[in-house]
Structure 1
Amino acid sequence: MKKLLLLSLFVAPLFSSAQVLLSEDFNALTVGDVSTEITGTIPGQGDYLFFASNGTAPTTSTNAGVTNSQIVSGGNASLGLQFEGPNGDKGSRYMWQDGFPALWAARVSGNNIVELELDINPGAGTTTSRNTFGAYIFNAAGDRVLAGFTVRAATRELFLVAYSTPTGNPVGSYTYSLAAAPGIQLPADTFSRIGISYNKTTGQVLIKGPGIAAAGISVNGSATGTDPAEVDFISFSGNTTAAPNSSSATMVMDNLQVKAVSTGSLLSVNQVTNNVDFSVYPNPSRDLVTISNDMNAVIETIEMTDLNGRVVKSQKINATDAQVSISDLSTGVYMMKIVTDQGTATKKVVKE
């Protein structure tokens, strides 16, 4: 690949012998470009390194630049990371902090499962862009995706990525669809929490998220005994001969957490985000918006923030459906965080 990547934050007890190795909500950073360069050599905000490429010649991608990686106010409640993918047939984006090998080496003995959880908003899914976005856990050489996930901008379909050996194929990093066509599709314009894990002892790779059965979907990985060494936010062109890419898309990611555990704990009940899909209507609206869901989730509270991350309204609900007045808000775009007994969702609301 091009470097050893990673996010270095803190090591702290979670429960029992589990450890949180990384945690990032981007709220300590400043709205704007993360980095001042795209070669992955000079740290930017939060000591993040950024690599952007249009791909090897010949390529039709032309938009690699520092603006491909930005801190924006549209995170899941506050600030988030917005990635922009390539606008042509080749190219990639990676963002990371150095230092993960030391964090992994210092883990509690027996914590041989690495778990990654991340909120991702796929947008409306109306773009023609073939770009994919997500997160990868790499080995030290950067040539194996021990576990990862991607979301396709055009369809919002979720995929699992794992270093594995599908029947009849050589070993390699493969992308797996999670259901028959059209696959597992994430809700539009909403943050969904995705969890992936890699078991160093067994090689098993697991994914959990909206639309997936509670037990998750697993693949028998082929990297048994390999230590994870880097964690990346990623985006790729997504171009194929049958479905060429000619435009870029963006997605917003937030609330990264990476843990070392001895037994699986992905997306425990109080951590699951967007296991319930909400309808918020009419949208746009001038006065009242109605919030409803078909899972009988009890809405506990709502919180609305403006695009600068300032809380402009909060309200206790305690009902499965609710009406919220926005008549007192100024014309503009707001993010509504809906907290329920089954998880959390964030919806964009437009005030006319």
Structure 2
Amino acid sequence: MLTTTTWLHTFTNYSNLNNINSSGHQILKIFQPVDTKKIRLQLNNLYDEVPLRISHLEISNSHQNKASITLNGKTEFAIEPRLVQWSDWIDFNSVANEFLTIKITSPTQTIHSLGMTISNDLIQTEVQGPDSKYFYGVSGIQVQTETHHKRLAFFGDSLTNQGNFSAPLAVNLENQFHIMTANYGISGNRILHPGHSTSQWSKSFGEAGLTRFDHMLVDYQPDIVIFMEGINDLLHPGTGSPIEELPTADAIIKALTILKNKCLRHGITFIPMTITPAWGNINDSLPAWNEQKENLRLAINQAILKMPHSIDLASLTSNEENHLRNIFDCGDHVHFSISGGFIVAHYIQEQLIRRKII
């Protein structure tokens, strides 16, 4: 039997959020793409300084199968600070293309190690209130399978993390092409700089993409990487981050070339996507875009288009004035709407098929 990671979602440090688990309960529904009889969960407390106490962790599906998740044989346990670990393997019959329900009971109310999603295509959270897009405790699922599956990593910032394009695309890739996916998007993430801002969200922006990319390669060992990052390298300087951190186009292009070559050495297909528009965005209460940043974006995109396997999302999503087209705009002039995300997902899938990558 082979161990297959069927779902993985990057957690980050939301140190500014308190009492995220005020009810003591959380329900997640996660899309499960393959048949299995054994399963385990990745338990995540990577950014907290106190143990994450789990009173009960239960998994079930629509076929009335239900089981308790254990750690070291115990149904009640704690995840120690700064750790990510796998639960015990448990017997659990699950069929392909169904949602698994994961119920967590925990007395720990303030938890900073969190994942985030806006799309409900791949991850559904059943938490009431304004923090319903955040979830804790479980960041991955592994199953035992009889066949090998290719692995694809979505690597990027909030456009990837929110899931409006990556989640429906992930479901299609898993369901139709039997390619497993992982979301390595972090909101606010930059290629060249770690979180460094006056924003209350600064710690959640994570380490620089240029270095965390290496962790992704080692931990997940993907066959394909869909890369969409660079917009925050332009947005943040002058709006929370020092304007001196605004990079040159050459600096971004050099970083992308380094990442491309790392993938080439490991036999990984690297698919960079052009940086989409940001005219009109307000960041840290300040206008985040100007002619200088736009010229940098256009120069970077010209270089990306010369790379093998690149996908031109900028042309798809831009209007005649190089603004984000209304159908793609969630309202902040940077992030995709739900309907726009579906169009992007379909376009990327079409490109992957046309180029015989899938």
Q: Same fold (TM over 0.5)?
A: no
Q: If each structure's helix is expressed as a fraction of its own residues, which one has the higher value? A: 2
Task: Give the structure, 1 or 2, with the largest relative contact order (CA under 8 Å, sep 6 or more).
Answer: 1
- Output the TM-score relative to the length of structure 1: 0.31
Q: If each structure's strand is expressed as a fraction of its own residues, which one has the higher value? A: 1
